[in-house]
Structure formats: C-alpha cells, structure tokens
A and B are shown apart, each in its own frame.
Chain A
C-alpha cells in the first residue's frame, strides 16, 4: 500500500476527490469492500475501476445486504467493514445495518455519495439528509463538500470506527467534491483532543476490584463482546483460570471462551442456561467484563443480583451504572484491565460453587437439552441439526445466525473452539442479517467453514443476496430451519397471547428451486434418517450450498425468562 501512495505522491500529486477516496482506503489497508453504485457515487466507482487489482468490490443486491456483509466481515476479521452506497435510497438502505453495528459495536466505515453541494437542501433527485438520518445510528458521521477534506475525513473515520468501543461511521461526500481535484497526501489519524478511546486504567479501582474478588465466596463472571473486541481472550482465560470463577456469556461474548472450558457455565439471559440465570441471584460478587447488562440478559432489574457486589470492567464510561449499579467500575480496555486485575488476584478454586452450576446444568440437560439434541419424538428439532453441525465441524466453524428461535437454539448448542466465530445480530435483533453477514464472514475468513443458520422468515428478508453469493462463489453453507412460522413470535403468542397466531404463519416458496435458480446447489430434508447424510453432503459440496431442514412447526425454545420476570424465575417448560 505504501508504494501505491508513494507513486501517487511522486507522479501525479493532483488527483480527483474520487481517486483520493480510493487511495485513502488503500492507505488504511482495505482490500475488500461491499457496495452498490448509483448516480451520486459514480465518480468514486469510476476511480475504483482503475484499482480493481488492489481493491476488490463485492456488488451486493441491496445496500442492506452490503452493510450486513461488511458487518460479518468485520466480526470475523478484526478489520473494519467498508461500504459504498449512493445518495438517497442507497444511503437510507444502510440505516438498519448502521443501527445494528452501533448497538453491537461493530467497526464500519460507510461512504455515501451525495448530491452536488450546490443542490444540498433543494430536494434534488436522490437527495436525503443522510447526516441527520444516520446520526442516532452512527458513532460519528461527517459530510464532505470539498475534495481536499476527503483524506482527513476518511482517516478520522477509520480511527474512530476501530478505536475505543468500535462502531459504525459514515462519510457523506458530495458529487462535486468527488470530481474536484486536490493535492493528495494521506496521514493516518492518531487522535484528537475531544476523543479519548483508551482511558487509562485506574490502578486504585483494580485494587478494590481484586479485594472484592479475593474475598468472594461465590463470585460469578459475565463476559461480553468486549473480550473479543479488546482482543483479550487470552487475558480473560488467564483471569478466570487463576481465580477459578465460573463464567457465563452474553450472545455477543459467545466464542470468546471455548465451549468445553470447565469454567464456561453457559449462556445468560432470556433463553440462556438454567444455572447462570438462577445463580446470578445467588452470587456474592458479580464481575462483568465487556458487557452492558442488556435487558435480555438481566430480566427485571429490580430483582437482578441485588445481593451481589458488582464489579464492571468496561471501556465505555457511559455503560457504568446505566442499568446495574456497580460497587467498583474499572474503565479501560479489557486486555489491559484484565492483565492488571489478574496480577492482583489470588489463585483460587470455587469447587463447591462451580458444582452448583453443574448440578443445575444436569437438571436442564434432563428436562430440556436431551430432548432437544437427541429427540425421540417424530418431528426434527432445531437442536439436533446444530448437534450434527457440531459433529461435522468439530466446533471449528464460524456460525452465523439470523434472529429468532433458530438463533437462540444455535447460540445455545453450537460448539466453539475459536474466538470470533459467532456472528449474530444481538442488540438490534435484525431479521435478514444472517445471509449477507455469512457472505461477508466467508470473505473475511476464506479458510474457515462458514455456516449460516437461518429461519424461513429472516431468510426471505434478504434472500436476494443469494445472487451475490453465487456471483462471488463464497462457499457459505446455508441451513434454513424451516418451521413455516415466524417461530419466536408464534412462541410468544402461544405462551402469552392465548395462542392467537396473528400473522405468524408463512406459506413459503420452494427454497430449493429458488437456490437452484440462483445457481446454488440445494436440497431439502425432513426425516431424521436422512438428516445426517444431508448435512454431510452439504459440507462435502465444493462451493455454496443451501440445505432446507423441515423442523417441527410448533416447538418452543426453553429455558425462558419471561419478559418482566426475574432471572431466577427462569422456566424450563
């Protein structure tokens, strides 16, 4: 990349804003991006044409597909996802992805074309004020109306999106700024005064946290995506292994710690595991690492861990005391905080306490898990499909999920050995996320098996991205868990709305024919005897593949903490 920039520096210093955009991306090490062209971003696409050997562009079928693909890419690769879209509808189609990336802290740099600056505010063709529209959904955004401001805006965009608590940023570039010329020079952003992404860890707080942990009889760790985003998996493991503390994950923290680690006690929250939910209200010290006490994790806050002293390790100061009052807050990145904390903690074991988790886990296994993974009833369960995926991939795959029942089942039962392997829309719960995100994940981790697990509802929200998967030949393995219902909503209707199935039943198209129409090999399975072989066949296929699995129509996901209930009121049936 350096040489590209140097060449430009020496030979043709004066270039267009459009070319400066491309060179700025190259200077940031971008080699792949997702997007969709249109009028207001045509100069940038024209410049891109000259750099196709260095910067690969994936043409999705919808801008929402582009941004979810960029999210999938970012979540597996530790690099920001980059998106191009045009003005007006192109830009507004990014909003869902921006909101999703904001709430799930995913680094994205989105570049939108805008009408010429002379037309701003005139309701010009394909003009929307995307700066105002995207404000709530971005960590930062900026409109650039002058070519010479492009390199600095992009440098800032990359710095902001990837530092501190990561998030999506948007750079809106007017068409005249893309056409106009500038003397190109690129300087990476290293910081500016109003933004402090790496707060210094307060050692005093570390000491206080360590004292609480050292004295605790029943300590309990909750970990979230902060561990992954902070690249602190090793430090986290060292911390819990030294202190011997049982640890449970949020769905965004999933895969930060291997599934079969003896201190991994499972999933938190509404459809999480029995033990972690029950014992949240029994622990004496609750140590939260890189998580934000989302309402799906806490249930009723008035009865949440009231007996416990809370230690919160978090990079975002605004998360402290937002939902749960802390005894000690350590603000800083997870890697550094955990290193310092581990050094101050005594080696310990909590055998009896850990045994309590295991005992509850056994109850859950007998009541729920065994029937889900090894059912004897006629219809296929989602869990047995995931179990077979685990067997075939040995827990080494990237599992991408959509939103709903299949997501909860996949997160509960998928096995993970490696970090950055669980890609799902956690905070926003965006149906339609999975298919494009899986494509992005495969392109971000081409050497890994990527399995997309999708419900029949969500699949049809971004089904058009089958076209992108075909064109790019990204070897995504797509499993549709088809229950011909919007399953999670149906489950709630059954449990809380008197079984009044209002608008949740789906009459679906022939998914196999659709996939084949897109040039993607596909098959469907509905019997247990064929399931294993179908999955085998899917993985054996060289290239993308779609497997539709007809599952039991009215299965429910349990355990469940009903809305408004306390975590210890978790129901097993």
Chain B
C-alpha cells in the first residue's frame, strides 16, 4: 500500500549531490512531492527532506540506495505520524481599496494565517501548516482573486530522540569500525 513517507538525508556539503540523490527516484519512476535542502544542526552537514508517496518496501530500498552514495552520511524514512512537519505557503490577493476587508480578515484569522505585507493593491498572506491546511486556506481565499500562490517543501523533525547524533560521534571517533548492520 502506498503512503506518504518523509525521507531525511544527512550529507556532506558537495556540489551535485542533490542530482545524485534525485536520480535514484527518477530511475524508479518515483515522483518527488516536495524537497527541501538546508543546513542541519551539525556544522558542515546538510539535510535533505524529501516527501514521496510510496510503499514502505520500495521506500526502504531507495533509502538504502541513497545511503550507499559516497557522500551521504545517513538516511532515514518516517511515516507522517512519526514526525512533526509543516510547510509554508504564501498567497497574493488582489485588494480593492474601497472594499470591506472584514470577511478577508475573518478567513485569515480562522486559518491561523497572517498578513505578511500590504503592497498597495495586493496583500500577501502567510500560513504555516500541513499541505492539507495550506490547501484549505487556498480554497477559502479563492473568492478573493488569488494572484499568486506558492508552497514550500516540507520541513520535518522526528518525534523520537535523534540517533544520528550518536552515529555521527561514532563515525568521527572510529571511522572505519562502524557496524552498519541494522
């Protein structure tokens, strides 16, 4: 059964590594729903967060192939319930200066969003939440003439204690003697 998985990858900061990782998805014809690359809590180590819809069996195979890449330190996969996650969405709405904003303000408030900036005839609304939540706000804003919409990739942190930190310490102290068997 296909379900949503978040794959978290810790890597060295090398040019082209993103390409190497995404090609593993391309090879298996897996669509990437969202992808985020950023620094991690560890100096010099980057974190990729990739969201896919896939069976767990295939997800595990891809994660192993990712981990096999020379510049990848470690890769994990999580079900939605195992992580805290969100995305950011921005909505650009055309604003009629004479119109009453009351209704719009109600929608914004009701969705726990806020006005990021007012630009003359436009306002930009920001909302942080799950994809479903940002989509709900999109639907609620449709009557207000949406001129622009963008959603970021998912960012996520696991709910459990991070084993990566211990793993990294081990790597650095006894780099060639790590037991990779799970």
Binding site for B on A (CB under 8 A): 131-132, 135-136, 139-143, 160, 191-196, 198-200, 202, 205, 316-318, 320-322, 329, 331
Q: Are B68 and A193 in contact (CB under 8 A)?
A: no
Given contacts A131-B16, A136-B27, A321-B61, contact A199 B179 (CB under 8 A): yes
Q: Are A318 and B15 in contact (CB under 8 A)?
A: no
Judged by a CB distance under 8 angstroms, whether B65 is at the interface is yes
Docked complex Cα distance between A227 and B64 (Å): 22
Given contacts A199-B180, A200-B178, A200-B179, contact A194 B71 (CB under 8 A): yes
Q: Are A202 and B179 in contact (CB under 8 A)?
A: yes
Q: Are B179 and A194 in contact (CB under 8 A)?
A: no
> Smallest Cβ distance from A318 to chain B, in angstroms?
4
Q: Which residue of A lies closest to B66 (CB)?
A: A318
Judged by a CB distance under 8 angstroms, whether B80 is at the interface is no
Docked complex Cα distance between A552 and B175 (Å): 58
Query: B64: which A residues are within 8 A, CB to CB?
Result: 317-318, 320, 322
Judged by a CB distance under 8 angstroms, whether B81 is at the interface is no
> Smallest Cβ distance from A566 to chain B, in angstroms?
22
Query: A194: which B residues are within 8 A, CB to CB?
Result: 11-12, 70-73
Docked complex Cα distance between A196 and B67 (Å): 10
Docked complex Cα distance between A136 and B25 (Å): 11
Contact size range, B: 20 to 34
Docked complex Cα distance between A329 and B61 (Å): 15
Judged by a CB distance under 8 angstroms, whether B97 is at the interface is no
Q: Which residue of B lies closest to A192 (CB)?
A: B175
Judged by a CB distance under 8 angstroms, whether B162 is at the interface is no
Docked complex Cα distance between A454 and B172 (Å): 50
B166-182 interface code vs A (CB 8 A; 1 in, 0 out): 00100110011111110
Query: A321: which B residues are within 8 A, CB to CB?
Result: 60-61
For the A-B complex with A135-B20, A160-B70 known, give 9 more contacts whose Cβ atoms are closer than 8 Å. A139-B70, A191-B175, A199-B178, A200-B179, A317-B64, A317-B180, A317-B181, A318-B61, A318-B64
Q: Are B181 and A193 in contact (CB under 8 A)?
A: no
Query: A132: which B residues are within 8 A, CB to CB?
Result: 16, 19
Given contacts A198-B176, A331-B180, contact A316 B20 (CB under 8 A): no
Judged by a CB distance under 8 angstroms, whether B23 is at the interface is yes
Docked complex Cα distance between A298 and B37 (Å): 39
Q: Are B68 and A316 in contact (CB under 8 A)?
A: yes
A322 interface neighbour in B14, B61, B175, Cβ under 8 Å = B61
Query: A131: which B residues are within 8 A, CB to CB?
Result: 15-16
> Smallest Cβ distance from A187 to chain B, in angstroms?
16
Docked complex Cα distance between A255 and B76 (Å): 39
